[in-house]
Structure 1
Amino acid sequence: MMRFSRMTLALLATLAVAPAAFAQDTGNTGTASGKRFAVVGGYALSEPTSNPSIAGTRTQVDGDGAATLSASWYVTDNIAVEAWGAADKFGHRVNTANGKVASVDTQPYALSGQYHFRQADSLVRPFVGLGYYEANTDGEKAEPSGALAGQRIGVETAKGAMATAGVDVNINPTWFARADVRYMQDTTGQPNVALDGVNAGKAELNPVVLGVGLGARF
């Protein structure tokens, strides 16, 4: 929860500064309307909402932060297609009541359609989206002193639907600040977890990803 508290402070600071920057940009007479492409670089925290059971033992999977990138094509000023993904891996600790037993890395990417409310030059523009994601999984490693020590761990790729809600705050016709939240729901029956090649459970994480970023449109 402390990671989300820091993210909340960063979000509030971004939303507080951006309107002032927009108001001071009196020399720019351009418009955001008609610009068809946008890119956003940011940082996000991924927090699993489900705790999988492995070999009959309930686990708790910690969240982590990573850099993110997105590129959008605006079909109109209000409708966009976005390609989004983590530029780095989210590292997750897998814990049981007796402590850490393993670690695993995930790197999600997604394609979604979005609807952006209000006019392109509005100071604040909320948006929503729905799409499809996959989360590559690698770096599975058992803790040497944990209950899974010495076993080879394998986790399948998670796939499913992703819902997005967010807000853009225009700084000027080119630059904008963004905050968004994404929920990823595995809809393929949950990826299998294997220990030494034998199925031992399901890796149902269904993470919530909270992000902030800075974007440019052109």
Structure 2
Amino acid sequence: MRSIKILSLATVTALALSSTAFAQDASGDTASGKHFAVVGGITLLQPKSDPINGIDKFDGGPAPTVSASYYFNDNIAVELWGAVDKFNHRVRTDGGAKAGTVEQQPIALSAQYHFGAADNTFRPFVGLGYYESNFSNEKIDGLSDSGNHVGVETAKGAIGTVGVDMNINSTWFARADARYMHARPDLRVGGQSAEELKMDPWTVGFGIGARF
């Protein structure tokens, strides 16, 4: 419920800013030719269900995220994206009971293609790249309690992105995006690899950006 409220607030804020700024921007300035952009927002990350036998899911959660992009031209860009804080996951058993907690903090580098002219009101984009996600503070009942150290190896792999920018004026824009990360880190118990976690999370994010 908390994550839904955060995402709803981000959406309302973006729409409010856009309705105000569209009416004010009559300067004739253009977004075309600007090479840098930064975006700050809120992202909800949700791993897939049944990552290993006996675990139903890792609950999703929100975290602040930020990205910085360099545009080679109006359509092609490279983006560095990551979480400013950690995503916190409650681990749940097949029966729905809480079995522990795990935190992760991803960072990704992607190439992107933005469709249409730089000043179009709506500009969809797609991206493909590489990411790493570091896990920490792993606590899983029945494993941690036995005295064995429980760890999740750093997840690494491909990340895909789809999104849309809504131009507010030549400098400011609102962004909505979704990302998929292919995540198959090993669960380690007592220093030994125990099983592969099939997490493969999706993210949904909303933010406000500026280009210059």
TM-score over 0.5 for the pair = yes
2:19 corresponding residue in structure 1: 20
- Shift of residue 138 of structure 1? 1.1
Aligned 1:49-128 pairs, distance under 5 A? 49-53=48-52, 56-96=53-93, 97=95, 99-128=97-126
Secondary structure at the residue paired with 1:173?
coil
Q: Distance in 2 between matches of 1:175 and 1:98?
A: 43
Distance 1:12 1:104 in 2: 28
TM-score (normalised: structure 2): 0.90
Distance (whole Å) between structure 1 residues aligned to residue 96 and residue 69 of structure 2? 45
Gaps spanning 5+ residues in structure 2: where? none
Matched with 1:45 is 44
Aligned length: 209
Q: Which moved more, 1:78-87 or 1:9-18?
A: 9-18
Which residue number in structure 2 is paired with residue 201 of structure 1?
195
* Aligned position for 1:178: 175
* Aligned residue number for residue 210 of structure 1: 204
Residue identity matched to 1:147: G
Q: Percent identity?
A: 50
CA RMSD of aligned residues (A): 1.9
Greater Cα offset, 148-157 or 69-78: 148-157
Specify every segment of 5 or more residues in structure 1 that has no aligned partner in the other structure, as ranges: none
After superposition, what is the alpha-carbon deviation per residue over 1:160-180, rounded to whole angstroms, capped at 9, x for unaligned?
111101111111111111110
